[in-house]
Amino acid sequence: MFENFAEAAAWVQDQGIRMIDLKFSDLWGRWRHVTLSASEFTPQLMAEGVGFDGSSVGLRSVKSGDMALIPDLATGVVDLFWDTPTLSFICSVVEADTKASYFRDPRVIAQRAEAYLRSTGIADESRWGPEFEFYVFDRVSFENSVNTASYRVDSAEADWNSAENGHGHYVPLHGGYHVIPPRDQLFGLRARIVTTLEEMRVPVKYHHHEVGGPGQCEIETPLMGLLRAADAVQLIKYVSKMVAQQGGQTVTFMPKPLYGEAGNGMHFHQHIFKQGVNLFYDPNGYGLLSETALHYIGGLLQHAPALLALTNPSTNSYRRLVPGYEAPVNCFFSTGNRSAAIRVPKYATHPDAVRMEFRPPDATCNPYVAMAAMLMAGIDGIVKRIDPTAAGFGPIDDNIFSWPPEKRAEIKALPTSLGDACAALQADHDFLLAGDVFDEETIQDWIKAKSKEHHAVLERPHPYEVQLYFDL
């Protein structure tokens, strides 16, 4: 929004801005913030930043937690959810003393990945298009203690409410895809989310009701650069939750909030450019894909088990990625098979639009970390010329569920638990260390933290287990 501090300071004065809100991402992808009076928006702030404790958000150890936040002026937007006029910036994390960029800042990791791409000479730009699936509920409650484990959600759209409310316009199980009002009771909410996003400078292509009957929605943006796309992920999650809360509803991007209903993914469309030319396009290639694109796909599929520890870093991720359904749990690519880990959109035929989408990820990821990791896997595939066909990764355009089990078993499978994904990352992460984009300490801390989450869930009795086994 702003090119320099003088421009930003003049705008703050002219618009009567009273508060400056500084947002940043912790290591795990949750946004944090600190708010200053507009009187503190000075050249000194840009030079020295605002101090905070990095050890509290996974960025640093307790013994050396002091860090600082410096606003990225280009990210400035008016935060429309504040009663007091507030200008919001996404921040870079820097060392408290030297003000050098902090190597573990997720945004800095993303910037290093883009810089590494340029340094290889392969391309000078990557473009990304995440898809956002989420549920809107009217009520959610949960409880976990020594003697209790429970949760309950409710949706006015759900057909389980038909007997009580009786208006007749409910969405059946798995029946929500592109339903129209009055069944689609969330079109107004989605429109408010989209208009708010556009006012906050996040472009949107479209929105619609998704498959999940009890309130599943989707929003999709145009493709944009890696850092801007990652910033957009954080803004879209924030705006969706805030707009819903204003209307007495609640939004979750959790991958599998409902048993037996569609899960929430966050597919990542991606391609790379050099001097404005899409390197993924070849009019004579499979799905219009070039050899470079195929090598990129080969890298993604070769490293997919390890990637999932970063792109699907929650135990709930693997409630969605269940083998035997149409979940993207199979390591192959295809132009039409939605159980494939990588799909080549048939509708993207313009030379600038040809791309692929990596389908396993979900919104529990840190977008900066996840996109950086996917880009590094793709670069590794290009550098090593990994041929996905020779490696057994397809293409497969058949319905693999019509295959006999022994033939399906020949397809490389993705991890089925967070623990398995962490083990895969432990065994395969050298590709992330290239160009010093990631570092060994961050990867090991990630594995340690996520393994702890895996065991924390594994050790707790499940409510369904009580039903199954209590009387044995």
Q: Which of 51, 146, 136, 30 is nearest to 93 (CA)?
A: 51
* Rounded distance between C-alpha atoms, residue 252 and residue 250, angstroms: 7
Options 190, 207, 267, 454, the catalytic residue: 267
Which residue spans within 64-118 are E strands per DSSP? 66-71, 77-78, 86-95
Options 21, 357, 362, 380, the catalytic residue: 357
Options 131, 138, 184, 282, the catalytic residue: 131
Options 133, 157, 261, 380, the catalytic residue: 133
* Rounded distance between C-alpha atoms, residue 133 and residue 218, angstroms: 5
Options 79, 114, 210, 261, the catalytic residue: 210
What is the Cα gyration radius of the chain?
A: 23
Q: Which of 90, 96, 14, 116 is nearest to 55 (CA)?
A: 96
Options 190, 207, 320, 359, the catalytic residue: 359
Task: Give the helix, strand, coil percentages of the chain, each rounded to 5.
Answer: 40, 20, 40
Options 53, 66, 198, 441, the catalytic residue: 53
Options 21, 79, 218, 231, the catalytic residue: 218
> Is residue 267 annotated as part of the catalytic site, yes or no?
yes
34's tokens: 């600190």
> Is residue 357 annotated as part of the catalytic site, yes or no?
yes
> Is residue 338 annotated as part of the catalytic site, yes or no?
yes
Options 139, 338, 385, 462, the catalytic residue: 338
For helices 304-311 and 440-458, give the axis angle rounded to 10 degrees.
70
Three-point CA angle 62, 63, 68, nearest 5°: 70
> Is residue 174 annotated as part of the catalytic site, yes or no?
no
Q: Give pairs for 444-447: CB < 8 Å, separation 24+.
A: 445/27, 445/58, 446/27, 446/309, 446/310, 446/313, 447/309, 447/422
Three-point CA angle 77, 78, 84, nearest 5°: 155
> Is residue 53 annotated as part of the catalytic site, yes or no?
yes
Q: Is 470 exposed, middle or buried (0-12, 13-18, 19+ CB in 10 A)?
A: exposed
| Active-site annotation, residues | 53, 131, 133, 210, 218, 267, 338, 357, 359
